[in-house]
Amino acid sequence: METPGSARTLRELQKKKRRGERIVALTAYDYQMARLEEIAGVDFILVGDSMGMAVLGDDTTLRVTMEIMLPHAAAVSRGAPATLVVGDMPFGSYEVSDEQAVVNAVRFLAEGGTGAVKLEGGNPRSVSRVRAIVDSGIPVMGHIGLQPQSIRKTGGYRVIYSDQRDRMLSEALALQEAGAFAMVIESMEEELAGEITRLLAVPTIGIGAGRLTDGQILVVNDMLGLSGDFSPRFLKKYAALDTVILDAVRSFASEVTDGVYPGTEHIFPAKDDR
């Protein structure tokens, strides 16, 4: 029997692209969310380094490490055993050398239970890392456009426009040639993302890249309304769980304060020894 990270699952993504069927993906960081996403039928789950911002409260992803990522990857893999889980290689886990990249990619599969990894960038260094990891037998998802791990260099979160067309096309093709099985395209002008999608044989997954990519991914905390006032242009909030949870916590606090909870139905009475 083939595992979710096997060639069979990757071929399904390729088939969806060829058939013009949209690919659906979300991030997840824990067992319960992964379980629900699998039930809902998403095509793959990304254990994103976005965890640093969405879960840990940082203002960037740069403080996320392998030691933080791996337990979350393992929890997601347990929660969604029949779904492709992709581990997002954090800043510092692949920059030094191809060898470092392979070692940490192996850890995602061996310790985190993922079926593939993702890494940012299409420059020669990143392309070399992708090739080395793929050569070691591990599927790799590429990532072009906005690269959150590079914001110290770029000066912030900026949309990629057509004035960078040649570079984006070159990076996308280089990553595909290196063996990437799919490509995340982040924060990019719609027409440019569409051109890249038409050019590539592998599926493209957009986040803030318009309607013309092969699929879409969002940070699950953001789309569920768990990120406060964070509301970039591309984000659609499908629920307002901030409000739901706040109301529930306030009700709990009020009932405890007033002595309403726990009620008689919530206690263990004395054992009947008759």
Which amino acids are annotated catalytic? Answer: 186
Q: b/e map of 85-106 (b: 16 or more CB within 10 Å)?
A: bbbbbbbebbeeebeebbebbe
Task: Report the alpha-carbon distance of residue 23 to residue 32 in Å, rounded.
Answer: 22
Alpha helices in the chain (DSSP H): 7-19, 31-40, 51-54, 66-79, 98-110, 124-135, 151-154, 165-178, 190-199, 220-223, 241-258
Neighbours of 156 (CB within 10 A): 7
Neighbours of 241 (CB within 10 A): 16
Which residues touch 137 (CB under 8 Å, ≥6 apart)?
none
Site of tokens 């013009």: 20
